[in-house]
Chain A
Amino acid sequence: MLDIILRNLSQRKVRTGLTVFGIALGIFAVIVMGSMSENFNQTFETSFSLTADKIRVFGSSGVFGGSVTTGKAAEVRKVPGVKDAYGLLMAPLEEGGAMSFGGNQIVGLPPEKSQTVLGPVKVKQGRFLMRGDRYETMIGTSIATQYNIGVGDRIEIRDKYFTVVGLLEYTGSFFDATAAVPLDSAQDVYDMGDMVSMIFVIPDDGVDGDLLARRIKLSVEGVDTLSPSELEKEARQSLMIFSVITVSAAVLAAIIGGLSVMNTMLMSVMERTKEFGILKAMGAERRDILIMTVGEAAIMGLLGGLLGLACGWVVVYGMNLWLAEKGIVLFLITYRLVAIAMLFAILLGTLSGIYPALRASRMSPMEALRYE
């Protein structure tokens, strides 16, 4: 039956081509948008796994309230089960920059603690910060590429120059876009006084993070905590929203491709009314007609999927190369994404073919034969 299907498709080359192109556009969108979403997903997974066991403590007025001071860290440290606790100040690196996916940020931390905070990440070159450092900084790979700097160079942060003493390994997480500086300097440069963004809590070995988070919240006044599981939940939620937005835009594009398949198939089924009549007179079963017509639609879906995938891959690859110079990674094509996109393309073709196929298979043979 496949030979007949392919013959029918190749007989209407222009029409088949246009329809395949329609699907390809949709799948192209799915690949490009999807790979963006996949990249954020992966960044999050890595970032999360690198800091999974830590508890974050905020001022109770909110996550970004910043209304927690270095002094609170001492109180938190006294809670049983806490191994260590200290303030961190996070802020956008560039003036007017946003603290969001992909933006560069600074982290102000007690210099002697840099190994613990950044610990899961290896040092590629140079050293961690240490006690006594003031205008020294450690930077991630994205910042290094973007500013074209390395160990020994200087970087300007809000009118002050910081000397790069260490370069972090590439992780595929937010650490890549992070410059770590001593907390005191950060508070000075950003005019934050004694404020910190949050208190970073390291639990004693074997202590349950969620329980400890609850205990801290109860024993220290005016703070909120984000346990590892809460953090994960929160982050997953915003990630999910992002995924839904990007993916639904892409799916919409693909559905339009599907409608064009349906349109094409309806047209060619009508045109071939007489042919179906002849086939039925020769004893074709309804099933034969169905397979023939749905098969055509499914193959257009498959071809569109392959074409869209190829174009999407080329564009994503090109964009990644181009963005790499700027130290940004924005797209990630995963096996999962490829599988979903292809499955979607074939399913779309098949589903759009079902209605035209049913019409073809239901025609009365006599009427079909009389059709001119």
Chain B
Amino acid sequence: MNNAKADIILKTRGLKETYMQGKVPVHALQGVDMEVKRGELISIVGPSGSGKSTLLSIIGMLEIPTEGEVFIDGVEVTGVKVKDIPRLRREKIGFVFQHFNLLPALTALGNVEIAMRFARVPKKERIRRATEVLTEMGLGERLNHKPSELSGGEQQRVSIARALANKPSIILADEPTGEVDTRTRDLIVGILRRLSDGGQTVIIVTHDVWVAERTDRIIRLVDGKVEDS
């Protein structure tokens, strides 16, 4: 392990999330403490309803925890003002979803490029960068295709390219291989591995043991708590 991997990029302390389902409280997370080093490729596994997606969305600042803190790059993101969150999200986080969540009206290039608009990147630079990442994902020939004209594997690669567009420090992928065949799954895991080798931190939520076994470390969630392995 090289030096770059030694520093902590993500740390959570006592994360709790309680949803109200009508009048019944649902304790999705019940005190999660975890640390992730820069450049690590880790997987979060656990039974359905154990709180994996909830944990990921709190790390990604899509949700505010009921209790506890999240530190990214030493910044306590759970303590910043609401209006600073979109900027932090752009700088720190790239999302990859199970259902790709591409905008159907936009081409592959458009889907990647739109992510950089919010960071106020000039148009020329946006096109250049989007072309670059899509080409890295092996989609150099598919720039002007709409999602409906792409295979599942290609769509997932577009969404990885989109997550990478703003050069975030952490990639959060919620079941990125949940909807693709095994050949594409291998391809996507390979891509995520390469990103991690390049110094980017990748956190994958997965039900797939094969995928989990290929990550540096597995975090197991049960009933909203990390289970010691």
| Bound form: Cα–Cα A1–B119 in Å | 13
**Contacting residues, chain A, for B118 (C-beta < 8 A):** 279, 282-285, 288
Residues of B within 8 A of A279 (CB): 114, 118
Tell me if A7 counts as interface (CB < 8 A to partner B): yes
Task: Confirm or deny: A365 has a beta carbon within 8 angstroms of a beta carbon on chain B.
Answer: yes
B115, CB-defined interface residue at 8 Å: yes
Query: Of B40-48, B57-65, B68-76, B199-207, which stretch is located at the interface?
Result: B57-65
Q: Given contacts A275-B103, A365-B62, are A4 and B90 in contact (CB under 8 A)?
A: no
- The contact of A278 among B57, B60, B86, B103, by CB within 8 Å, is B103
Q: Which of A8, A283, A364 contacts B87 (CB 8 A)?
A: A283
Say whether B101 faces chain A, with CB atoms less than 8 Å apart.
yes
Q: How large is the interface on B (under 10, 10 to 19, 20 to 34, 35 or more residues)?
A: 20 to 34
Bound state CA distance, A285 and B81, in angstroms? 13
**In the assembled complex, B215 has its CB within 8 A of some CB on chain A:** no
A281-B95 contact, Cβ under 8 Å, with A366-B57, A366-B62: yes
- In the complex, what's the smallest C-beta–C-beta distance from B72 to chain A, in angstroms? 14
B95: which A residues are within 8 A, CB to CB?
A: 281-282
Interface membership of A310, Cβ < 8 A: no
A283-B166 Cα distance, complex, nearest whole Å? 10
Nearest residue (CB) in A for B82 is A286
Q: Does B126 contact A (CB under 8 A)?
A: no
CB distance from A281 to the nearest CB of B (A): 5
A100 within 8 Å of B by Cβ?
Answer: no
Q: Which residues from A are CB-within-8-Å of B63?
A: 364-366
From A4, A11, A274, A369, B62 is in contact (CB under 8 Å) with A369
In the complex, the answer to whether A1 meets B117 with C-beta atoms within 8 Å is yes
A72 at the interface (CB under 8 A from B): no
- Is B105 in contact with A7, judged by CB distance below 8 angstroms? yes
| A281-B89, A283-B93, A364-B62 known, 11 other contacts, Cβ within 8 Å | A11-B105, A281-B95, A282-B162, A283-B89, A283-B115, A283-B166, A285-B118, A286-B83, A288-B118, A369-B62, A369-B97
- Could you write out 20 A-B pairs with CB less than 8 Å apart? A1-B117, A4-B114, A7-B106, A279-B114, A280-B62, A280-B86, A281-B60, A281-B101, A282-B95, A282-B114, A283-B115, A283-B118, A283-B119, A283-B166, A286-B86, A288-B117, A364-B62, A365-B62, A365-B63, A369-B62
